[in-house]
Amino acid sequence: MSADLDDLRRDDRKYSDEMIIVRYINASQNDQEETHTCRSQDISAGGLKLVSHRPLALGTEMPMEIDLGSLWAVIDVRAEVKWCLEIDESPTYYIGVKLIEIEKSNRQVWKKFIERL
């Protein structure tokens, strides 16, 4: 990752491999709703770095479900794609997302989860 992308990070990142379900409207496919599963690579209070086999357009806002595991919960958030980088020919992408909306109760669960990593 470039130094410029690292500079965008406001919060400390922690490694965490969690299942993430992403839903978004695909403008290039006649505004069809797309759903796919990816994994997190690292997380912070304000965002995630995802590993995906599909690219996501910069600026895309989308609902996401973050599965924190059986001891925690599945939380719903709204996120915005800040960057997308193809890392191999599989294809595999790293995608940086910023959390832009999270309910108060989910925010508390999210912060406690991150603190325990």
For residues 19 and 30, give the distance between their C-alpha atoms in angstroms, rounded to a whole number: 27
The predicted structure's pLDDT at residue 4: 45
What average pLDDT values come out for the chain (117 residues) when binned by 10 residues?
Answer: 47 84 83 90 93 93 91 92 95 96 92 89
The predicted structure's pLDDT at residue 101: 95
CB 98 within 8 A of CB 61: no
CB 3 within 8 A of CB 39: no
**What domains are there in the chain, each with its CATH number?**
3-115 (2.40.10.220)
The predicted structure's pLDDT at residue 10: 62
Q: Taking CA 50 as the corner, what is the angle to CA 46 and CA 54, rounded to the nearest 5 degrees?
A: 135
The predicted structure's pLDDT at residue 69: 87
The predicted structure's pLDDT at residue 12: 77
Place of tokens 């406690």: 112
CA 32, distance to chain mean position in Å, is 20
The predicted structure's pLDDT at residue 117: 85
